[in-house]
Amino acid sequence: MKYETAIIDGKTVAADLRNSLKEEVEKLPAQPGLAVILVGDDPASHVYVGNKVKACEAVGIKSFESRLPAQATQAEVAAEIAAFNDNPQVHGILLQLPVPDHLDSDALVQSIAPSKDVDGLSFINQGKLIAGDKTGLVPCTPQGSLRLIKTVKEDLSGLHAVVIGRSLLFGKPMAQLLLSENCTVTQAHSKTKNLPEICKQADILVAAVGRPLMVKGEWIKPGAIVIDVGINRLESTNGGGKLVGDVDFEAAQGIASAITPVPGGVGPMTIACLLANTIAASQAA
């Protein structure tokens, strides 16, 4: 059977979410605040931080920016985090990753107060996710991916979900979220044997690897929902470079029932969920 593959439009879903967050902020007694800490001169990170600041302003969240030089010491970055931890106007703190190599990023991330950890990377928030405690802050990209899945299927109970990737930032929390939706979850990674056969059993296939077009059409079960998290730049001779995901999008047409494009799928949801987490953190404060 050939499927008419629906394209899950992350831009529209993210815009709808931002609009509803803006309405929510207008009703709050105090303005939520998000602090973003950027260490060093990585141009991509500067763009990401700029986008986050703009997105905050658009929904009425006050943004606090701290840009530190690439030579900043562990103590200097930790002091910045501590100051934001103590600032009652700041409800969310985000350390833009990656940080320069001489810094211990894990220690810095864990020094963010769990109640302000809008990336959901603290052990407390990761633990709450595993425990099914809804008071925790859930990492933004998996949270956004689940929201996208729910736009095409509300009840995921009993479905087989395969998540390729097991990072703390994405793969592990994604698997937990799907488990709490009563999916049967398989977590695949670089040591997984027979990956194509495992993927082929997935009603929901989530790819978060960072390998361009790795998931082929024949890996996809007919009718599956496919969420492509990977962002890869294909080098071109003119120096440009097209963005592609981990899934062969063209080959998935007619097989998947629904798929997220790259760009324009999961990507836009990440910032929208960061805003949602900041608002949730301000409400819990």
Encoding tokens for residue 201? 């059993």
Q: Cβ of 62: how many Cβ atoms within 10 Å?
A: 17
Handedness of CA 16, 21, 23, 24 (dihedral sign): positive
Q: Which of 117, 42, 112, 38 is nearest to 78 (CA)?
A: 112
Q: Is 71 in the site for ligand NAP (CB under 6 A)?
A: no
Please, are residues 162 and 184 in contact by the beta-carbon 8 Å criterion? no
Please, are residues 128 and 163 in contact by the beta-carbon 8 Å criterion? no
Q: How far is the CB of 202 from ligand NAP (least distance, A)?
A: 13
The rounded distance, in Å, linking the Cα atoms of 263 and 245 is: 8
* H-helix segments, 28-167: 43-59, 74-86, 105-110, 123-131, 140-152
Q: Of the listed pieces 55-63, 68-76, 84-92, 264-272, which binds ligand NAP according to CB under 6 A?
A: 264-272
In a 13 Å sphere around the CA of 69, the CA atoms on its Cβ side amount to: 3
Q: Which of 78, 169, 198, 243 binds ligand NAP (CB under 6 A)?
A: 169
Give the contact letters, 173-212, x = binds to ligand NAP (CB under 6 A), - = no. ---------------xxxxx--x------------xxxx-
Q: Which of 2, 41, 62, 119 is catalytic?
A: 119
Q: How far is the CB of 17 from ligand NAP (least distance, A)?
A: 14
Active site residue 52: yes
Q: Of the listed pieces 83-91, 94-102, 146-154, 168-176, which binds ligand NAP according to CB under 6 A?
A: 168-176
How does DSSP classify residue 117? B
The rounded distance, in Å, linking the Cα atoms of 230 and 75 is: 34
By beta-carbon proximity to ligand NAP, the closer residue of 84 and 170 is 170
By beta-carbon proximity to ligand NAP, the closer residue of 33 and 267 is 267
Q: Is 17 in the site for ligand NAP (CB under 6 A)?
A: no
Encoding tokens for residue 4? 């008419």
Q: How far is the CB of 71 from ligand NAP (least distance, A)?
A: 26
Q: Of the listed pieces 30-38, 43-51, 112-120, 223-231, which binds ligand NAP according to CB under 6 A?
A: 223-231
By CB under 6 A, the residues from 226 to 255 that bind ligand NAP are 229-232
In sequence order, the β-bridge partners of residue 63 are 34
Q: Is 166 in the site for ligand NAP (CB under 6 A)?
A: yes
The rounded distance, in Å, linking the Cα atoms of 249 and 138 is: 28
Q: Which of 141, 143, 176, 277 binds ligand NAP (CB under 6 A)?
A: 141
Q: Which residues are identified as catalytic?
A: 52, 96, 119
Which positions lie near ligand NAP, rule CB under 6 A? 141, 164-167, 169-171, 188-192, 195, 208-211, 229-232, 266-267, 270
